[in-house]
Structure 1
Amino acid sequence: MAYHLKSRIELCGVSQTFSQNAQQVQLFQDLTLTIAQGHSYAITGPSGSGKSSLLMLLSGLAQPSTGQGYWLENDSRRPLAGLAKEIGYIFQQFHLLPELTALHNVALPLKLRGVKHAEQLAKSWLDKVGLGHRLQHKPAQLSGGEQQRTAIARALVFSPKFIFADEPTGNLDSQNAQDIADLLFACCEEQGAGLVIVTHSELLAARAEQIFNLAQGHCQLRQSKLQEVYRA
């Protein structure tokens, strides 16, 4: 495993609401849950239940309406906002920069951190995700599966402690979806990262160790019955 000290993320009594047509709409209330580095999780539930919002809260990219979120590591508790440099986030719509090649899209977060040999590292990750032959292609020249692979390489290139993926297979055909799922779980197992996936796919959710099911404002935790099958 690539990690030594395991980090954890905790949400304590969080609720999330938003305004719509001058009314307050509550997505969920009083949720308390923990995710740990080195483990995999799926967030499931009907459309509009708040799955993507919960993912944003866990990653520290959004703040809850009420309650608190913490990042725990090495006996210290810190605000989740401080986790930003330790996460990789895979957006449902990829969010690749259209003017940059695949190589430069993946290298950009490394360059922003001042990492030396950014393009060399980016190339190694594009090789890992099967895009070594598409380095100089821009997003418009890539298929949906290839764009998703580029987004995954970008999220994993700096060995984050946690990977957050919002519907990573939602826009892909069944073969590409299978390949992307295999890639995500394999990379995260090798790097010892925590993996949290929002998905409508029961098959994909079953590959996670734990499943958080959101419905009617509440969250039910269940163990994955099929996870050991995929590990075999």
Structure 2
Amino acid sequence: MSSYIELKNFSQSFQVNGSKVTLFNDLDLSITQGQSYAITGPSGAGKSSLLMLMSGLEHPTSGQGVYVKGGHKQSLEFLRPDIGFIFQQFHLLPELTALNNVALPLKLRGDKHAEDKARVWLEKVGLIHRINHKPSELSGGEQQRVAIARALVFEPGFIFADEPTGNLDQQSATEIADILFSCCQENNAGLVVVTHSETLASRAQHIFSLAGGQLKQTANEMLKAVSC
């Protein structure tokens, strides 16, 4: 039985200079392990906030979120050990080599084989020859490959990626997308990508647009036709 995340009647708002700003109201969404999802929409629509909410890293103003694993329903807080995050800015530790950046999540969990597993993943993302290089010695595309390996090294059930190709040139963006989708498919991980890129979004099995506080599903075939 596949694990899944379910959001019901999610709303998110905050105060700015005494005024209430609402990102979205009564939003419903289900994310299933092994499936890929893209969330598009204009800047400021709340896409990144939604990503943080569905991962259980932040709490909504109102609504209910559940994480179902092995038939057991739990709050989204129990999802945290089962997720990997990939960011636009990479967020690698500058003082660590590629190998140690990837191994770090496993070391924090007490895994004695952390570096061996990190080597396997760096080979999967095509960086085995750069394992001893620090982030400052890597290109943007190489840094994002390290970030992908770090997110997947402990085999999480879900990967959340916030504009993972936003800082990359077209060729690097395509290579990163290839690696990201293939690695998640290989690991049967659910993948949720927030992106402005219609090309990247079109690779997902399920595409949503967040705008004006509403989340609407987009026909994949239609978006692919536009992006070609």
Which TM bucket (shorter chain)?
over 0.9
**Whole-angstrom distance in 2 between the partners of 1:192 and 1:223:** 23
Q: Identify the residue that residue 159 of structure 1 maps to in structure 2.
A: 155
* Aligned AA (2:128): G
Offset of 1:18 from its aligned partner? 1.8
* Aligned AA (1:32): D
Q: Identify the residue that residue 121 of structure 2 maps to in structure 1.
A: 125
* Aligned AA (2:139): S
Match of 1:170 among 166, 174, 199: 166
**Whole-angstrom distance in 2 between the partners of 1:60 and 1:117:** 28
The alignment of Structure 1 onto Structure 2 pairs a total of residues equal to 225
User: In the alignment, is residue 102 of structure 1 matched against residue 98 of structure 2?
Assistant: yes
**Whole-angstrom distance in 2 between the partners of 1:143 and 1:96:** 13
**RMSD value, Cα:** 1.4
**Aligned-pair identity (%):** 63
Q: Identify the residue that residue 40 of structure 2 maps to in structure 1.
A: 44
1:24-52 superposed Cα distances (whole Å, 9 cap, x missing partner): 21111110110100100000000000000
Structure 1 gaps of 5+ residues are none
SS at match of 1:133: helix
Q: Identify the residue that residue 140 of structure 2 maps to in structure 1.
A: 144
Q: Identify the residue that residue 77 of structure 1 maps to in structure 2.
A: 73
Match of 1:220 among 198, 216, 222: 216
* Aligned AA (1:214): L
1:156-206 superposed Cα distances (whole Å, 9 cap, x missing partner): 001110010000001000000000000011011111110000000011111
SS at match of 2:5: strand
**2:210, 2:216 within 8 Å by CA — same for their partners in 1?**
yes
**Whole-angstrom distance in 2 between the partners of 1:84 and 1:50:** 21
Structure 2 gaps of 5+ residues are none
Q: Identify the residue that residue 184 of structure 1 maps to in structure 2.
A: 180
Normalised to the residue count of structure 2, the TM-score between the two structures is 0.95
**1:208, 1:227 within 8 Å by CA — same for their partners in 2?**
no
**2:199, 2:224 within 8 Å by CA — same for their partners in 1?**
no
